[in-house]
A and B are shown apart, each in its own frame.
Chain A
Amino acid sequence: MSIELVNVGVAQLKIASSPVILRTILGSCVGICIYDRNKKMGGLAHVLLSKATNDSQPEKFAETAIPALIEQLLRQGCKRDFMTAKIAGGASMFKFASQTPLGLIGENNISMTKKILEEKKIPIVGEDTGGSVGRVIDFFLEDGRLKVKAGGHEEYYYKV
């Protein structure tokens, strides 16, 4: 049996159940992976920015995408008590003029992600963020593990 691999694009949010693998590619964006270890179900939100400006697409922003992701999982019968989060991405250009807000997008995405997860009381059990690497992440709904491929090497985060 081959396991289904689902690509999650920029500013997309997808949920699925074991044994599906959710994959996304991250630069300054942040990938938020929330897993319900009891129901073996989870979702991945790929956010571009921390908060909405005058754009109406909630999936683009950490501030709105994370609550939407939790909401979708709850609607599928997941329980908040069994949910944990892993986050990845939020890289920045290796060098940039200090006055350039574009250079701070990665960091802002990470801090907003942490703030919203804390507000929603979802503990972060794994984090692979910052630096200047591009990341390909695979979120295995079989057991909630996260594989992060960056700069030619792989790292696994097993804790759920």
Chain B
Amino acid sequence: MHEHIKERIKTVIANLNALPSMPEVVTRIINMVNDPNVDFKLVAEEISRDQAITTNILKIANSAYFSKGKEIASVEKALVTLGMKEVKDIVVVAATKQVLDKPVIGYDLAKGELWKHNVAVAMLAKKIAIDKKKKNLADLVFTGGIIHDVGKTVLAIYVASTFKDLIQSTVDNQITFAQAEQLLLGFDHQEIGQIILKKWQFPESLQNIVRYHHDADDAPQSDIEAVAIVHVANTICQMAGIGIGGDGLYYELSGKAIEATGLDDSELQHYYGITPELLKMARQIM
């Protein structure tokens, strides 16, 4: 069934030009974060060369969420006041907005819904990391949250033409929507997302977050904590209806992932309960 669609998807992902693109400077900045010998001045120069991105970066950097009240007039100032990791997060927000802030037909998401969802997941994931004393993961799970559903933008048109069968398959086979995508289309939105991140040459830990955000139990040991945090943040946002689409809640909440985050029941409920405040925060940078 749907063999012709499987073939078409294979052709699309084999053709890098058919996948969303990412300015090279963004890739370079993401990879710089893990380099202890980075020269801030060089990074600032690198970013400033792209005028469009710079304007957006400064706008986002001056949101209350990132600026914490300080005025940030230049990329250099942002690097000095906020640090390399925060600036990297800001660059990712600025650069991925154009990929994600659009209607996603097959998943029944109006314009802005997927973007809102990903921003909310990023912010919640970062909050969980900080609250659980895993500050070293804060920027990674934020970036991972921002892009975790990027695969949906490419898979959407194929989901649109097979939607009824996908839902039927989840119910008949008692599988998740992502597993139904795999079964009927040959790929799920996590795998497509990973392929997009490979094209962008984003680091492997980010690829793993995207690839396993619904399959946290299968994540490689090295990234299990980061994947688990994004998995839980994503589930909470879906349950709160933030950017919930036609695929609804046809996913699995992993007990193993909850364990890996170290969150107890009352903490989980607390995060779900603060989603309205989370949304207000998300609007600041959307």
Q: Which residues of A contact B (CB under 8 A)?
A: 9-12, 25-29, 48-49, 53, 55, 57, 60, 89, 91-97, 99-103, 105-106, 131-134, 150-152
* Interface 1/0 per residue, B245-277 and A, CB below 8 Å: 111111111110010000001001110110110
Query: A residues within 8 A CB of B220?
Result: none
The reply to whether A152 and B249 form a contact with Cβ atoms under 8 Å apart is no
- Residue in B108, B164, B167, B248 whose beta carbon sits within 8 Å of that of A91 in the complex: B248
Q: Please, could you name 9 A-B residue pairs with CB atoms under 8 Å apart, sorted by A?
A: A26-B241, A28-B272, A53-B273, A91-B248, A100-B258, A102-B239, A132-B248, A132-B249, A134-B238
Count: A-B pairs, CB below 8 Å = 120
The reply to whether A132 and B258 form a contact with Cβ atoms under 8 Å apart is no
A94 to B165, CA, bound (A): 17
B280: nearest chain-A partner, CB-CB: A9
The reply to whether B249 and A93 form a contact with Cβ atoms under 8 Å apart is yes
A73 to B279, CA, bound (A): 27
A33 to B145, CA, bound (A): 33
The reply to whether B240 and A10 form a contact with Cβ atoms under 8 Å apart is yes
A133: nearest chain-B partner, CB-CB: B248
Q: Which secondary structure dominates where chain A touches chain B?
A: loop
**Which 5 A-B pairs rank lowest in CB-CB distance, beginning with the nearest?**
A97-B255, A134-B244, A27-B241, A95-B252, A96-B253
Query: A residues within 8 A CB of B236?
Result: 102
Query: A residues within 8 A CB of B269?
Result: 49, 53, 101-102, 105
B130 to nearest A CB, angstroms? 20
The reply to whether A134 and B252 form a contact with Cβ atoms under 8 Å apart is no
Instruction: Take A26-B241, A27-B240, A152-B167 as given contacts and tell me if A11 and B276 are in contact as well, using a CB distance cutoff of 8 Å.
Output: yes
A96 to B253, CA, bound (A): 5
Q: Counting CB contacts under 8 A, is B170 at the interface?
A: yes
